[in-house]
């Protein structure tokens, strides 16, 4: 089963599985295909995280998050123009996606590398534009793309947004993919493609250089594991904040039987908001690249810490984020993005999230490559006390430093259950894009299934709520909560704001008790799950 945000990409992955490819083979092929058909988030010029489970039950975590160029420092954006961390050359971090896909294939791949890249080359020569892609052209995206002639020439052909049924051709990207097909990761990080990326940086005052590209490495890390409702959850460790934050949420909320509460009733949403308020307070202050900063992961992920944080939650009133501070020091003293979920016929699985950061990243295509470059530098703490694009006010631990990986919210996750002897059985593969909402979205899907017994399709489609400590408010998808629940939450002291648009794009695969697979693509963006 392959679940992605785009039918063409899902078809590419399903074809690989039909040929006997491993889940990783399918993920590699899908990753390259999404760089073509899902340009707002799929990418060669971005980064991501990948969890892979072998048929024998071994789980590995691959960190191919972007890094700050060697010439970057903590004061990079202090005197820079507004939005320099989001738009244009200075926003670009060292891309990790191509190296990550090559690293995953080198360790787990079965089919030849060239076979996995070739479908993306065919798509880059021309594919039919669908409604999902057209919807990605928000007004601010179009304005950003128009600022760079190299971007507008590709994504605004003849000066306009493509229409459904048009053919989008990306010949430069096809040639770049051809070099990757023939030379592996060196076809991107060295040689002609690297030269053109560096030339683009020099033209626009960017910092990315040849040594940054050639020296980039993807890192295998031990996955983060924790228990919830009798299951084992496996998620991404740092440099992603996703797994640690998810563990904090789970341990706080384990103090209540959520399944006994009316689903999305006042008490249920109140508890979610209060738990998330505390988890994000710790996330924003303490988490960062573990190769640069000492992070108290053992404390933050301890069940006892979650129970300690839960003690301060009152059921009869909302907390105030101004009063909810990071708790790990006190406890120790006291004692736009896209996601792919794949399960193959042997029991192997991949949960894979990749991003340019915001839609279409920096909006900048490196001239002659067809490669949209990321704006991941905005995920660092660029200015103290100033929120980033997603409204997160982050701490000093996440300051820019040369070679440092910026904090991420990406949360590719697997849920395991079953017997205690031997590898635990795979139950669910899940993840989503959505910036700061990623962790709460993943938690809600898992909790909908484990706490409330909701089937996977309904669990993914269900309305979502969100709280991230600052700004101090509960966000609700359009029409997501009953009027009386909103009224009662406000009576408790919560600010409740209904968003104009839904968020997230969950891709999930569930292994049922009888061994059959259920794939679900989020209806919010029209993705497709394909079974083989």
Q: What is the pLDDT of residues 109-142, one digit of tens each?
A: 999 999 999 999 999 999 999 999 999 999 999 9
Contact 296, 286 (CB under 8 A): yes
Say how many C-beta atoms besides its own lie within 10 A of residue 130's C-beta. Answer: 17
Tell me whether the omega of the peptide bond preceding residue 471 falls within 30 degrees of 0, making it cis. Answer: yes
Residue 334 has pLDDT above 50, yes or no: no
DSSP string, 401-466: -TTPBPPB----EEEEES-SSSSPEEEEEEE---GGGHHHHHHHHHHHHHTT---HHHHHHS--EE
DSSP state at residue 374: P
Beta strands in 177-273 (DSSP E): 219-221, 224-228, 231-235
Is residue 333 over pLDDT 60? no
pLDDT digits (tens, 9 = 90+) for 141-179: 999 999 999 999 999 999 999 999 999 999 999 999 999
Tell me the average pLDDT across 376-391: 88
Mean pLDDT along residues 39-57 = 97
d(CA 402, CA 398): 12
Helix (H) or strand (E) holding 511: strand 507-511
Using an 8 Å Cβ cutoff, are 77 and 90 in contact? yes
Q: How far, in Å, CA of 262 to CA of 319, rounded?
A: 21
Q: How far is CA 54 from the centre of its chain?
A: 22
The pLDDT confidence band at residue 232, using thresholds 50, 70 and 90, is: very high
Q: Confidence class of residue 331 from pLDDT cuts 50, 70 and 90?
A: low
Q: What angle do CA 19, 337, 385 make, to 5 degrees?
A: 155
Q: Where are the beta strands (DSSP E) in 133-238?
A: 167-168, 219-221, 224-228, 231-235
Helix (H, G, I), strand (E, B) or coil at 40: coil
Contact call for residues 376 and 95 (beta carbons, < 8 A): no
Q: Whole-structure pTM over 0.85, yes or no?
A: yes
Active site residues per annotation: 337
Reference 521, options 2, 3, 1; nearest CA is 3
Q: Are 129 and 165 in contact (CB under 8 A)?
A: yes
Q: Decide if 125 contacts 38 (C-beta within 8 A).
A: no
Mean pLDDT over each residue of the chain, to the nearest integer: 95
- Picking from 532, 319, 519, 357, the residue whose alpha carbon sits closest to that of residue 434 is 357
In what order do the strands lie in the sheet containing 474-476?
Answer: 465-466, 474-476, 496-498
Give the pLDDT confidence of 65-114 residue by residue, as tens digits.
Answer: 999 999 999 999 999 999 999 999 999 999 999 999 999 999 999 999 99
Res 388: pLDDT = 85
């Amino acid at each position: 089963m392959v679940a992605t945000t785009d039918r063409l990409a899902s078809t590419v992955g399903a074809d690989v599985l039909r040929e006997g490819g491993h889940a990783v083979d399918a993920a590699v092929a899908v990753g390259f295909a999404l760089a073509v058909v899902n340009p707002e988030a799929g990418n060669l010029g971005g980064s991501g995280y990948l969890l892979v489970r072998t048929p024998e039950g071994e789980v590995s975590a691959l960190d191919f998050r972007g890094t700050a160029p060697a010439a970057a420092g903590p004061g990079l954006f202090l005197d820079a123009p507004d939005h320099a961390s989001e738009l244009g050359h200075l926003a670009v971090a060292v891309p990790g996606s191509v190296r990550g896909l090559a690293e995953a294939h080198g360790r787990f791949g079965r089919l030849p590398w060239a076979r996995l890249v070739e479908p993306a080359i065919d798509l880059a020569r021309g594919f039919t534009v669908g409604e999902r892609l057209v919807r990605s052209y928000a007004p601010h995206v179009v304005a950003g793309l128009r600022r760079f002639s190299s971007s507008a020439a590709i994504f605004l052909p003849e000066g306009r947004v493509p229409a459904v049924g048009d053919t989008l051709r990306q010949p430069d990207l096809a040639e770049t993919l051809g070099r990757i097909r023939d030379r592996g990761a060196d076809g991107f990080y060295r040689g002609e493609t690297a030269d053109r990326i560096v030339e683009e940086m020099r033209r626009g005052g960017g910092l990315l250089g040849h040594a940054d590209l050639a020296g980039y490495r993807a890192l295998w890390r031990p996955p983060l594991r924790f228990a919830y409702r009798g299951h084992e959850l496996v998620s991404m460790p740092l440099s992603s904040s996703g797994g640690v934050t998810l563990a904090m949420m789970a341990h706080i909320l384990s103090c209540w039987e959520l399944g006994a509460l009316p689903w999305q009733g006042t008490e249920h949403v109140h508890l979610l908001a209060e738990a998330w308020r505390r988890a994000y307070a710790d996330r924003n202050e303490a988490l960062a690249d573990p190769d640069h900063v000492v992070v108290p992961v053992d404390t933050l992920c301890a069940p006892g810490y979650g129970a300690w944080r839960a003690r301060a939650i009152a059921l009869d009133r909302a907390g105030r984020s101004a009063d909810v501070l990071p708790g790990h020091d006190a406890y120790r003293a006291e004692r736009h993005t896209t996601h792919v979920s794949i399960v193959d016929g042997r029991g192997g699985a991949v949960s894979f999230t990749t991003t340019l950061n915001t839609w279409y990243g920096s909006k900048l295509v490196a001239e002659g490559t067809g490669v949209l470059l990321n704006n991941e530098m905005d995920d660092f703490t660029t200015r103290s006390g100033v929120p980033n694009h997603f409204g997160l006010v982050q701490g000093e631990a996440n300051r820019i430093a040369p070679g440092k990986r910026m904090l991420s919210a990406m949360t590719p996750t697997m849920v395991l259950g079953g017997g205690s002897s031997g590898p635990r059985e795979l139950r669910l593969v899940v993840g989503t894009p959505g910036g700061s909402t990623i962790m709460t979205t993943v938690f809600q899907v898992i909790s909908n299934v484990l706490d409330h017994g909701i089937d996977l399709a309904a669990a993914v489609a269900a309305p979502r709520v969100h709280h991230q400590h600052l700004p101090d408010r509960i966000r609700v998808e359009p029409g997501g909560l009953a009027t009386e629940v909103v009224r009662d939450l406000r009576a408790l002291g919560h600010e409740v704001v209904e968003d104009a648009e839904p968020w997230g794009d969950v891709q999930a695969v569930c292994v049922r008790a009888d061994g059959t697979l259920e794939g679900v693509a989020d209806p919010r963006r029209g993705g497709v799950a394909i079974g083989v």
